[in-house]
């Protein structure tokens, strides 16, 4: 979902975090499909991953009890806080200026897990791939996964959904950190590999560059760049419809 509308004098681009990260971290040519509202058929990996997320959410509900977090606890940076899995919605708002155009980018998502520990804001994202072996020799997550974690880390948060403008809040902190867990859905969702990192200045610059480029591509200010990788085109859910695919089909 990528939408463009004008609230004079501002052009507002609204996108899901998933579509933003998929487009900038995987293939820019996915953007037109998302703008047109074309939904790709869910892959087996996506379906199984959704089921695994639901299993984790149910497990947490059955085995852990969370007390409501007060405003005082939230504002006290020395207090550790943890929110229920899959219950926190996110919105990253970034204003941009292109020549005479004022642009506002809104990236909407929902975190797997967000908490504050020892004054550090932490976002955890869980992945349930079909092929664990593709992560065997990796020392860092894929670009789209890092981009997703950074987007969540720099967002506003809500536990009431997207439509309540009074529900958005910040989580005070001194540092930001992300955790990306690669989990084995065929072995009780146990962690196969865990990537961790702190948000650095370079990481924040990468996020802002990606959002700026995303907006330029959506508005037609810049042209798409092809990754020229048959390996990426072959499993792409838009491959059969995409005239720019590297023809390996």
Residue 165: predicted pLDDT = 87
Q: What digits encode the pLDDT tens for the residues 58-71?
A: 766 666 677 889 99
* Residue 37: partners with Cβ closer than 8 Å, 6 or more residues away: 1
- Preceding amide of 204 cis, omega within 30: no
In this structure, how many other beta carbons lie within 10 angstroms of the beta carbon of residue 114? 24
Residue extents of the structural domains in the chain: 2-241
Is residue 24 within 8 A of residue 213, CB to CB? The reply is yes
Q: What digits encode the pLDDT tens for the residues 183-229?
A: 998 888 899 999 999 999 999 999 999 999 999 999 999 999 999 88
Average pLDDT over residues 158-167: 91
Architecture of domain 2-241: Alpha-Beta Complex (3.90)
Residue 249: predicted pLDDT = 44
CA distance 207 to 213: 10
- Averaged pLDDT score across all residues of the chain: 90
User: End-to-end CA distance of the chain, in Å?
Assistant: 27
Average pLDDT over residues 132-138: 93
Q: Does the pLDDT at position 99 exceed 70?
A: yes
Pick the closest to residue 224 from 29, 38, 1 (CA basis): 29
Question: Residues of the chain with pLDDT > 70: what percent?
Answer: 90
Burial (CB count within 10 angstroms: exposed 0-12, middle 13-18, buried 19+), residue 112 = buried
pTM reported for the whole predicted model: 0.90
Residue 13: predicted pLDDT = 98
């Amino acid at each position: 979902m990528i939408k463009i509308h004008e609230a004079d004098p501002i052009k507002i681009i609204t996108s899901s975090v998933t579509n933003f990260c998929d487009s900038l971290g995987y293939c820019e040519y996915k953007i037109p499909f998302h703008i047109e509202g074309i939904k790709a058929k869910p892959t087996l990996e996506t379906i199984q991953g959704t089921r695994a997320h639901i299993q984790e959410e149910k497990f947490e509900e059955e085995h852990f009890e969370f007390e409501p977090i007060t405003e005082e606890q939230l504002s006290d940076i020395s207090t550790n806080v943890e929110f229920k899995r899959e219950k926190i919605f996110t919105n990253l708002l970034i204003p941009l200026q292109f020549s005479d155009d004022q642009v506002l980018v809104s990236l909407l998502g929902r975190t797997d897990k967000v908490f504050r520990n020892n004054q550090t804001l932490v976002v955890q994202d869980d992945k349930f791939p079909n092929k664990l072996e593709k992560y065997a020799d990796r020392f860092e997550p894929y670009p789209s996964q890092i981009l997703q974690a950074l987007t969540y880390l720099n967002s506003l948060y809500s536990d009431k959904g997207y439509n309540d403008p009074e529900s958005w809040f910040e989580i005070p902190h001194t540092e930001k950190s992300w955790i990306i867990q690669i989990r084995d859905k065929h072995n009780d969702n146990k962690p196969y590999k865990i990537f961790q990192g702190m948000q650095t200045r370079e990481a924040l610059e990468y996020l802002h560059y990606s959002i700026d480029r995303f907006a330029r591509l959506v508005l037609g200010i810049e042209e798409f760049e092809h990754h020229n990788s048959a390996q990426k085109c072959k499993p792409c859910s838009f491959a059969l419809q995409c005239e720019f695919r590297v023809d390996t089909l």
